[in-house]
Amino acid sequence: MSDFIVVAGPDIAGILDGDKEKVREIVASAYRLHDAGHTINPDSYFLRFPHKPNSRVIALPAYIGADVNRMGIKWISSFPDNLSRGIPRASAVLILNDFETGRPLACLESAHISAARTAASAAVAAEQLCTGSGLTVGVVGTGVIASTILDHLHSSTVDIVGVVAHDLDHGRAAAFAERVHTKIGTDVDPVGLDAALKADLVVFATTAGEPYVDAAYRFTPDQVVLNVSLRDLPPEVILASTNLVDDVEHCLKANTSPHLAEQVVGHRDFIQGTLGGLLNGKVEVERGKPVIFSPFGLGVLDIAVGDYVMGRALEAGTATVVNGFIG
């Protein structure tokens, strides 16, 4: 119990890329446990900087029970200016603790874990919400999260025949298209925003701080929208749709699109339920309107995926064990 486990990013990436279906199973299970009350997921804590308003660091503490029985905290930074430096926007670590003793157990590089659990969450939602076959995907925002979501959609049960992508940085959109084609063999056509919004499945994965989609815009009743970046859509679009979230209390804060909608109408009746409730058979999706899934991002997902990664790394001998770390 005095040892400490460290798992590096490249090893984590290999584990997560090697079994995406397992990652989605873990994420779906975590949602079910959260819906059933077997988790503790406090508010996320935001460290912001008045002189650097586009940057932030977020702490996500959480505990997940049942067979996982693990607690910990993710500490993740988002510094968009890093992109101009040629390094990723986000970086993170995940600390896992032993639940019996409370002792720190492991530190894992967590930008990969965060991206994978976000993408797996989006894919699980898409598998539940998308109907029919031969679907087109429109991606808005072409960073790491977007490409990881496409990885998971590609290996999911969602039948995709075409992908278009929009980004304010045309060079980034072109690089994204090349990266996706190289990794999963899917062609991506860079397009304008209007064209991306017309796809059967629309994925928002931007760093937008406030809505920019026109308030008069309406998705069609057969469209599904994965509102991963949370702040792209105005309240009018949210209120004209069927809405699912990952957690009502968590999602309706910090001026997310659903939170802005709540401020407009003064209630939460436009939220039909949660993805966990849908997976547990407690929620039926109202059709006849577009369906929007808005995931705030739950720390329990990071703990569940991180615990799996730690176990796999120990089995493979790729984890570094610091003997006598606690002293």
The string of DSSP letters for 201-246 reads: EEEE----SS--S-TT----TT-EEEETTS-SS-HHHHHTSEEEES
Q: For residue 14, is pLDDT > 80?
A: yes
Domains of the chain: 4-113+300-322 (3.30.1780.10), 129-297 (3.40.50.720)
CA 178 and chain centroid, separation: 22
At residue 237 the predicted structure's pLDDT band, cuts being 50, 70 and 90, is very high
Contact partners, residue 51, CB within 8 Å, separation at least 6: none
Please, what is the average pLDDT of the chain?
A: 96
At residue 157 the predicted structure's pLDDT band, cuts being 50, 70 and 90, is very high
* Lowest model confidence (mean pLDDT) among 120-124, 172-176, 223-227, 249-253: 172-176
DSSP strands (E only) in 247-317: 271-274, 291-294
Q: For residue 132, is pLDDT > 90?
A: no
Roughly how many angstroms between the first and final C-alpha of the chain, as a whole number?
A: 10
CA 13 and chain centroid, separation: 16
Mean pLDDT of the region 91-97: 97
Residue 52's CB is within 10 A of a number of other CB atoms, namely: 10
pTM for the whole structure: 0.94
Percent of the chain residues past pLDDT 90, beyond the cut: 91
Q: For residue 1, is pLDDT > 80?
A: no
Mean pLDDT of the region 43-57: 93
Q: For residue 175, is pLDDT > 80?
A: yes
Mean pLDDT of the region 191-213: 96
Instruction: Say what the pLDDT of residue 286 is.
Output: 85
Q: Are strands 188-190 and 160-166 parallel, antiparallel or unpaired?
A: parallel
Radius of gyration, CA atoms only, the chain: 19
Instruction: Say what the pLDDT of residue 326 is.
Output: 87
Instruction: Say what the pLDDT of residue 83 is.
Output: 87
